[in-house]
Structure 1
Amino acid sequence: MLSIDNEGAITLPEALLERICAEHTDKEVELVIVDAKSMHALNLEHRNVDKTTDVLSFPIDDFPHAPLGSIVINYELAFQKAAELGHSAEEEITLLFIHGLLHLLGFDHETDHGEMRKNEEELIFRYALPKSLIVRTEEV
């Protein structure tokens, strides 16, 4: 189940996000859409990184009936990246959601051996999305 707190009041591909969520977990996932300033504050508070970012994941410790966690997406950065790369903001938000969900499911591209990238690529292919966050980052 997906619950959405859309602070930016932007158009979201809710049906697709709910489908992706339901295909990967039966636990509740919270999606929070924020602006760049709010994301900067979260990144500083939780990661001690003094800049904004595009997506953050906050898993919840596993106990009976606990939600899986929260995914926070910076809609301003998502819109900017979508325009820069020539795809829709909805596609970018879906890519960021997939990335965040995989983190909630325990994957970590910074420490694994390509498992997160493989899963992300499979989902991107399944949903006909543009290049993943991990692939774009690795190309830089």
Structure 2
Amino acid sequence: MVYFENQSDLEFGELGLERLIEGMSESLVEVYVLNDNEMIELNRDFRQKNELTDVLSFPCDAVVPNLPLGSIVMSASLIKQKAKEFGHSIEEELQLLFIHGFLHLLGFDHEVDSGEHRQKEEEMIRKFGLPASLIVRV
């Protein structure tokens, strides 16, 4: 199940995020689209990087029944910018970032693994017919 809240002025249509995680988790995943100031603040507070980033994931570490798997926050301005840069829709960019963040909630971490995170992203992107732009990003 996905709880989605747009706290920005970014406009978009249907996202279908539930279908992207079907069969992978029965826990709630919270998703928030935020403005730049909130994203910079979260990135600074939790990653010690005082800069804008496109997506952050916050897993719920407690093993307690019925708690969410975690939260994913995304930058509205970078969603819009990257969609334009890579020539796909805002909805597709948001779905790509959701996949990336969701895999972090499941424990994948491209910063320390041997390519498993990127491999799973590529598998999901192909399965759902999404643009391959996330695969080629550095």
- 8 Å contact kept, 1:27–1:65: yes
For the 8 Å contact 2:20–2:128, the answer to whether it is kept is no
CA–CA separation in structure 1 for the residues paired with 2:131 and 2:57 = 21
Q: Deviation per CA, 1:66-109: give whole Å up to 9, x if none.
A: 21000001111010011011111111100000000000000001
Give the aligned partner of residue 42 of structure 1: 42
* TM-score where L is the length of structure 2: 0.92
SS in 2 for 1:23: coil
| Structure 1 residue 132: Cα displacement | 4.7
> Take 2:96 and 2:133, find their aligned partners in 1: how far apart are those partners?
6
Q: Hey, what does 2:19 align to over in structure 1?
A: 19
Superposed CA offset, 1:90-129 (max 9, x none): 1110000000000000000111111111110010001111
Unmatched segments (≥5 aa) in structure 2: none
In structure 2, relative to structure 1, the CA distance for the partners of 1:45 and 1:134 (3 Å cut) is farther
AA partner of residue 27 (structure 2): K
Q: Secondary structure at the match of 2:74?
A: strand
Give the deviation of 1:22 after TM superposition. 3.0
Aligned twin of 2:125: 124
> Amino acid of the residue matched to residue 74 of structure 1?
S
Residue 73 in 1 paired to residue 74 in 2? yes
Instruction: Write 1 or 2 for the structure with the bigger share of helix.
Output: 1
Correspondences of 1:1-140 after superposition (within 5 Å): 1-9=1-9, 10-14=11-15, 16-61=16-61, 62-137=63-138
Equivalenced residue count is 136
> How much does 1:130 deviate?
1.3
Question: Quick one: percent identity of the two aligned structures?
Answer: 49
Structure with the larger RCO, 1 or 2 (CA within 8 Å, 6+ apart) = 2
